[in-house]
């Protein structure tokens, strides 16, 4: 436990020294239960007070719709990367005068002491006048790591050492057909190459070889999508519902090694609790199901490999892998300071890995934990999330995220 406390301390020191931010917007206020107006604060406000010097441009001369930009250099830690240097950026803006929806672009660069490096660019952009909604997920990984085999009974003691390069390109164009209801079509590419795995004989290697043929794999195909989203701010939802259903056929005539199909169902709901407070009770159901065919091993549903890599806090990404993943999580978010600078969370999750989706669920894999939220950008609601999660069989660790986990 001592090593984790030290790393949290180093994170705060590094954040305090290196954080820099470019923000715009009008003064933000929150109201407490006694109806007393309280000025909301973020990290840059604290720096201004400490330095007795303004660090941001006068908001009155800037457009109300943004952009609101946060740039945070962070030293982080996770179970599969060890100590990691991260440059995390979040850009948010409104594309309509009524400020109905907030758009978001996340760009992160990472390098770990395990000689892993990866780059991610995730976008969620609304064009109100055209009734369009664009969703993108582009990433590149050079990633020596561990994999533990298939199913819920895989053990930490028998991992396979694996190294690979990875390119992901997911793009979806949605069209609004009713209020907050969108249909869309997209393209998905998962390309792994230079795949190397250790040759230790055993069940884990047998499972890997069954799904992975050769030192590369290509999964290329279209996606058919329907989405409902009445949240105003996906960065830090205060209420509302999000639901996304996506059918993803991988097709050889589009370059895929083989034909196979999957189904993704992602549902989230947010409730103020109590109603008069800023506290949020959030629910998340994430389900990745293989409908037909045999996916390559590295494209199988797996904990921690969702779009934002946030499923399964308490476990290393890839800790549990199978043909089908059923995942549930709930989180309670609450304020620690009246000015909104600090907040806390309590969370719990449960997942099931199965070979056949209609099998009875025999084994539930639980996880849980707690976390701290630091307000990085009060105009977009962007928080730095620092969580400590734990699971079964001794699994535990720290998890970092720019923005809320879901």
Q: Which of 124, 88, 125 is nearest to 107 (CA)?
A: 88
Q: Which residues contact 52 (CB under 8 A, 6 or more apart)?
A: none
- CA separation, residue 95 to residues 70, 92, 156, 319 (Å): 18, 10, 47, 39
The DSSP secondary structure of 174-218, one letter per residue, reads: EEEEETTEEEEEEEEEEEEEEEEE----SHHHHHHHHH--SS-EE
**Do 293 and 261 contact (CB within 8 A), yes or no?**
yes
Give the pLDDT of the chain (406 residues) as one tens digit per residue.
Answer: 434 444 443 444 344 333 333 333 344 444 444 434 568 888 888 877 787 777 665 443 345 676 777 787 877 776 677 788 888 888 888 876 666 788 889 898 989 888 899 999 999 998 877 788 899 999 999 988 888 888 888 877 778 889 999 999 999 999 999 999 999 999 999 999 999 988 666 677 888 888 888 899 999 999 999 999 999 888 899 999 999 999 999 999 999 999 999 999 999 999 999 998 889 999 999 999 999 999 999 999 999 888 878 999 999 888 899 999 999 999 999 999 988 899 999 999 999 988 766 555 568 999 999 999 999 888 878 898 999 999 998 888 888 888 899 9
Distance (Å, whole) CA 196 – CA 246: 31
Alpha helices for 324-383 (secondary structure H): none
Q: Specify the pLDDT at position 399.
A: 85
Domains of the chain: 2-402 (2.40.160.50)
Distance (Å, whole) CA 360 – CA 284: 21
Q: Is 321 helix (H, G, I), strand (E, B) or coil?
A: strand
Distance (Å, whole) CA 11 – CA 86: 11
Q: Specify the pLDDT at position 56.
A: 62
Q: Is 3 helix (H, G, I), strand (E, B) or coil?
A: helix
Distance (Å, whole) CA 29 – CA 49: 18
Distance (Å, whole) CA 280 – CA 274: 8
**Do 127 and 133 contact (CB within 8 A), yes or no?**
yes
Token duo for residue 183: 């249909």
Q: Which residues contact 91 (CB under 8 A, 6 or more apart)?
A: 67, 68, 69, 70, 104, 105, 106, 107
């Amino acid at each position: 436990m001592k090593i984790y406390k030290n790393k949290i301390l180093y994170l705060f020191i590094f954040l305090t020294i290196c954080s820099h931010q470019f923000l715009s917007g009008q003064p933000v206020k929150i109201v407490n239960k006694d109806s007393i107006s309280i000025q909301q604060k973020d990290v840059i406000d604290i720096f201004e007070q400490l330095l007795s010097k303004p660090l941001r441009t006068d908001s009155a001369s800037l457009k109300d719709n943004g952009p609101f930009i946060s740039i945070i250099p962070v030293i982080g830690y996770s179970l599969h990367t060890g100590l990691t240097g991260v440059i995390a950026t979040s850009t948010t803006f409104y594309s309509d005068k009524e400020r109905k929806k907030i758009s978001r672009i996340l760009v992160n660069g990472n390098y770990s002491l395990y000689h892993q490096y990866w780059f991610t660019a995730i976008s969620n952009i609304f064009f109100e006048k055209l009734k369009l909604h664009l969703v993108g997920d582009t990433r590149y990984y050079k990633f020596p790591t561990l994999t533990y085999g298939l199913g819920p009974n895989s053990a930490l003691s028998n991992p396979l050492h694996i190294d690979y390069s990875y390119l992901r390109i997911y793009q979806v164009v949605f069209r609004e057909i009713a209020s907050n209801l969108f249909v869309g079509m997209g393209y998905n590419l998962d390309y792994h190459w230079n795949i190397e795995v250790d040759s230790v004989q055993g069940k884990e290697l047998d499972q890997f070889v069954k799904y992975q043929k050769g030192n590369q794999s290509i999964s290329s195909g279209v996606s058919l999508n329907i989405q409902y989203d009445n949240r105003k701010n996906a960065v830090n939802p205060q209420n509302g519902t999000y639901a996304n259903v996506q059918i993803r056929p991988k097709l050889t005539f589009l370059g895929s090694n083989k034909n196979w199909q999957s189904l993704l169902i992602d549902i989230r709901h947010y409730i103020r609790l109590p109603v008069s407070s800023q506290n949020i009770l959030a629910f998340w159901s994430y389900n990745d199901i293989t409908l037909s065919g045999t996916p390559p091993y590295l494209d199988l549903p797996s904990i921690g490999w969702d779009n934002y890599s946030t499923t399964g806090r308490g476990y290393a990404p890839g800790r549990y892998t199978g043909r089908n993943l059923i995942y549930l999580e709930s989180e309670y978010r609450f304020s620690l300071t009246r000015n909104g600078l600090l907040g806390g969370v309590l969370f719990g999750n449960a997942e099931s890995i199965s070979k056949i989706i209609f099998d009875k669920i025999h084994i539930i894999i639980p996880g849980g934990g707690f976390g701290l939220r630091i307000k990085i950008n009060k105009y977009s609601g962007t928080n730095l999330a620092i969580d400590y999660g734990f699971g079964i069989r001794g699994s535990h660790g720290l998890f970092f995220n720019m923005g809320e986990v879901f």
